[in-house]
Amino acid sequence: MRKLALLLLLTLPIAAPSFEAQAQNKKSPTDLRGVLLEQLRTTHTEEDWFVPVNIAVAGLTAEQAKWTPGKDVHSVGQLTNHLLFWNTRELADLKGEKAQPFSGNNDETFNNFDAAQWAETVKRLDAVLTELEKIVEAADDKKLAANASLIAHIGTHNAYHIGQIIYVRKLQGSWDPSKGVK
Protein backbone atom coordinates (compact mmCIF):
# COMPACT_ATOMS: atom_id res chain seq x y z
CA MET A 1 0.00 0.00 0.00
CA ARG A 2 2.86 2.36 0.83
CA LYS A 3 4.46 1.73 -2.58
CA LEU A 4 1.12 2.42 -4.26
CA ALA A 5 0.78 5.72 -2.39
CA LEU A 6 4.29 6.71 -3.43
CA LEU A 7 3.61 5.74 -7.03
CA LEU A 8 0.42 7.80 -7.06
CA LEU A 9 2.22 10.79 -5.63
CA LEU A 10 4.93 10.51 -8.26
CA THR A 11 2.33 10.75 -11.01
CA LEU A 12 0.73 13.96 -9.72
CA PRO A 13 1.35 17.11 -11.75
CA ILE A 14 4.21 19.22 -10.47
CA ALA A 15 2.56 22.57 -11.07
CA ALA A 16 -0.22 23.57 -13.40
CA PRO A 17 -1.06 27.20 -13.96
CA SER A 18 -4.30 27.71 -15.85
CA PHE A 19 -4.34 27.74 -19.61
CA GLU A 20 -5.46 31.36 -19.42
CA ALA A 21 -2.44 32.32 -17.31
CA GLN A 22 -0.14 30.60 -19.78
CA ALA A 23 -1.68 32.41 -22.73
CA GLN A 24 -1.35 35.78 -21.02
CA ASN A 25 2.28 35.24 -20.03
CA LYS A 26 3.76 34.37 -23.40
CA LYS A 27 3.01 33.71 -27.00
CA SER A 28 2.69 30.01 -27.76
CA PRO A 29 4.59 28.58 -30.69
CA THR A 30 2.54 27.82 -33.78
CA ASP A 31 4.90 25.60 -35.76
CA LEU A 32 6.44 22.19 -35.17
CA ARG A 33 9.95 23.51 -34.48
CA GLY A 34 8.62 26.02 -31.97
CA VAL A 35 6.55 23.43 -30.10
CA LEU A 36 9.42 20.96 -29.90
CA LEU A 37 11.88 23.63 -28.76
CA GLU A 38 9.39 24.77 -26.14
CA GLN A 39 9.13 21.20 -24.82
CA LEU A 40 12.89 20.80 -24.66
CA ARG A 41 13.53 24.20 -23.11
CA THR A 42 10.82 23.96 -20.47
CA THR A 43 12.30 20.69 -19.27
CA HIS A 44 15.83 22.09 -19.39
CA THR A 45 16.16 25.76 -18.38
CA GLU A 46 12.88 27.65 -18.78
CA GLU A 47 10.34 27.72 -15.99
CA ASP A 48 6.83 27.22 -17.30
CA TRP A 49 4.22 24.72 -16.17
CA PHE A 50 6.82 22.86 -14.12
CA VAL A 51 10.33 23.18 -12.82
CA PRO A 52 13.08 22.53 -15.41
CA VAL A 53 15.88 20.09 -14.63
CA ASN A 54 18.55 22.76 -14.15
CA ILE A 55 16.56 24.17 -11.24
CA ALA A 56 15.50 20.73 -9.99
CA VAL A 57 19.11 19.61 -9.45
CA ALA A 58 20.66 22.98 -8.56
CA GLY A 59 22.41 23.32 -5.24
CA LEU A 60 22.52 19.63 -4.34
CA THR A 61 25.65 18.17 -2.88
CA ALA A 62 26.90 14.77 -3.99
CA GLU A 63 25.80 13.40 -0.61
CA GLN A 64 22.27 14.74 -1.10
CA ALA A 65 22.21 13.47 -4.69
CA LYS A 66 22.85 9.88 -3.58
CA TRP A 67 20.20 9.90 -0.80
CA THR A 68 17.19 7.69 -1.37
CA PRO A 69 13.94 7.64 0.62
CA GLY A 70 13.84 3.85 0.68
CA LYS A 71 14.19 0.59 -1.15
CA ASP A 72 13.13 0.62 -4.80
CA VAL A 73 13.07 4.43 -4.98
CA HIS A 74 15.76 6.15 -7.01
CA SER A 75 17.94 8.94 -5.70
CA VAL A 76 18.18 12.31 -7.45
CA GLY A 77 21.60 11.25 -8.67
CA GLN A 78 20.27 8.02 -10.13
CA LEU A 79 17.40 9.85 -11.86
CA THR A 80 19.79 12.46 -13.25
CA ASN A 81 22.19 9.76 -14.44
CA HIS A 82 19.26 8.02 -16.18
CA LEU A 83 18.31 11.27 -17.92
CA LEU A 84 21.91 11.81 -18.98
CA PHE A 85 22.12 8.29 -20.40
CA TRP A 86 18.95 8.48 -22.48
CA ASN A 87 19.35 12.09 -23.64
CA THR A 88 22.94 11.31 -24.73
CA ARG A 89 21.72 8.26 -26.60
CA GLU A 90 18.93 10.15 -28.37
CA LEU A 91 21.30 13.01 -29.22
CA ALA A 92 23.66 10.53 -30.89
CA ASP A 93 20.71 9.12 -32.85
CA LEU A 94 19.61 12.57 -34.01
CA LYS A 95 23.19 13.39 -35.07
CA GLY A 96 23.43 10.12 -37.01
CA GLU A 97 26.15 8.82 -34.70
CA LYS A 98 26.47 5.39 -33.19
CA ALA A 99 25.36 5.34 -29.55
CA GLN A 100 27.43 3.75 -26.81
CA PRO A 101 26.79 0.02 -26.34
CA PHE A 102 23.79 -0.77 -24.15
CA SER A 103 22.88 -4.13 -22.65
CA GLY A 104 19.17 -3.35 -22.74
CA ASN A 105 18.88 -3.40 -18.94
CA ASN A 106 17.31 -0.04 -18.06
CA ASP A 107 18.19 -0.53 -14.37
CA GLU A 108 21.82 0.03 -15.32
CA THR A 109 20.99 3.55 -16.49
CA PHE A 110 19.99 4.43 -12.94
CA ASN A 111 22.37 2.25 -10.97
CA ASN A 112 25.57 3.37 -12.66
CA PHE A 113 25.38 6.67 -10.76
CA ASP A 114 28.65 7.63 -9.07
CA ALA A 115 28.26 10.33 -6.39
CA ALA A 116 31.89 11.34 -6.90
CA GLN A 117 30.89 12.41 -10.42
CA TRP A 118 27.75 14.35 -9.37
CA ALA A 119 28.92 17.80 -10.51
CA GLU A 120 30.15 16.37 -13.81
CA THR A 121 26.86 14.50 -14.34
CA VAL A 122 24.89 17.74 -13.91
CA LYS A 123 27.25 19.61 -16.21
CA ARG A 124 27.09 16.92 -18.90
CA LEU A 125 23.29 16.73 -18.76
CA ASP A 126 23.09 20.49 -19.26
CA ALA A 127 25.45 20.27 -22.26
CA VAL A 128 23.52 17.39 -23.86
CA LEU A 129 20.19 19.16 -23.43
CA THR A 130 21.66 22.35 -24.91
CA GLU A 131 22.94 20.38 -27.89
CA LEU A 132 19.54 18.73 -28.40
CA GLU A 133 17.97 22.18 -28.59
CA LYS A 134 20.58 23.28 -31.14
CA ILE A 135 19.88 20.19 -33.27
CA VAL A 136 16.17 21.06 -33.35
CA GLU A 137 16.93 24.71 -34.14
CA ALA A 138 19.17 23.77 -37.07
CA ALA A 139 17.26 20.80 -38.51
CA ASP A 140 15.63 21.17 -41.89
CA ASP A 141 11.87 20.70 -42.00
CA LYS A 142 12.08 17.16 -43.38
CA LYS A 143 14.45 15.95 -40.64
CA LEU A 144 12.39 17.75 -38.02
CA ALA A 145 9.17 16.10 -39.17
CA ALA A 146 10.83 12.68 -39.33
CA ASN A 147 12.05 13.01 -35.72
CA ALA A 148 9.17 14.97 -34.19
CA SER A 149 7.74 12.07 -32.23
CA LEU A 150 11.14 11.12 -30.81
CA ILE A 151 11.85 14.73 -29.78
CA ALA A 152 8.42 15.07 -28.16
CA HIS A 153 9.01 11.86 -26.23
CA ILE A 154 12.37 13.18 -25.01
CA GLY A 155 10.61 16.18 -23.47
CA THR A 156 7.89 14.02 -21.92
CA HIS A 157 10.41 11.55 -20.49
CA ASN A 158 12.46 14.39 -19.01
CA ALA A 159 9.39 16.01 -17.44
CA TYR A 160 8.35 12.71 -15.85
CA HIS A 161 11.71 12.19 -14.17
CA ILE A 162 12.04 15.84 -13.14
CA GLY A 163 8.82 15.33 -11.19
CA GLN A 164 10.43 12.38 -9.44
CA ILE A 165 13.52 14.47 -8.67
CA ILE A 166 11.40 17.17 -7.04
CA TYR A 167 9.47 14.60 -5.04
CA VAL A 168 12.64 12.91 -3.75
CA ARG A 169 14.04 16.31 -2.79
CA LYS A 170 10.82 17.12 -0.93
CA LEU A 171 11.05 13.85 0.98
CA GLN A 172 14.68 14.62 1.75
CA GLY A 173 13.89 18.14 2.92
CA SER A 174 16.32 19.66 0.40
CA TRP A 175 13.72 21.30 -1.84
CA ASP A 176 13.18 25.06 -1.63
CA PRO A 177 9.49 25.65 -2.42
CA SER A 178 10.26 29.15 -3.69
CA LYS A 179 11.85 27.42 -6.70
CA GLY A 180 8.45 26.67 -8.16
CA VAL A 181 6.74 23.81 -6.36
CA LYS A 182 5.17 24.33 -2.95
Listed by start position, the domains of the chain span: 30-176
pLDDT of residue 50: 85
Query: Which tens digits make up the pLDDT trace of 89-123?
Result: 999 999 999 988 999 999 999 998 999 999 999 99
Query: Which tens digits make up the pLDDT trace of 8-64?
Result: 344 444 444 443 444 455 688 789 999 999 999 999 999 988 899 999 999 999 999
CATH topology of domain 30-176: Four Helix Bundle (Hemerythrin (Met), subunit A) (1.20.120)
Quick one: pLDDT band at residue 5, thresholds 50, 70, 90? very low
Quick one: pLDDT band at residue 4, thresholds 50, 70, 90? very low
pTM of the model: 0.84
Angstrom distance (rounded) from CA 30 to CA 20: 17
H-type alpha helices, the chain: 2-10, 19-25, 32-42, 53-57, 62-66, 76-95, 107-111, 118-138, 141-172
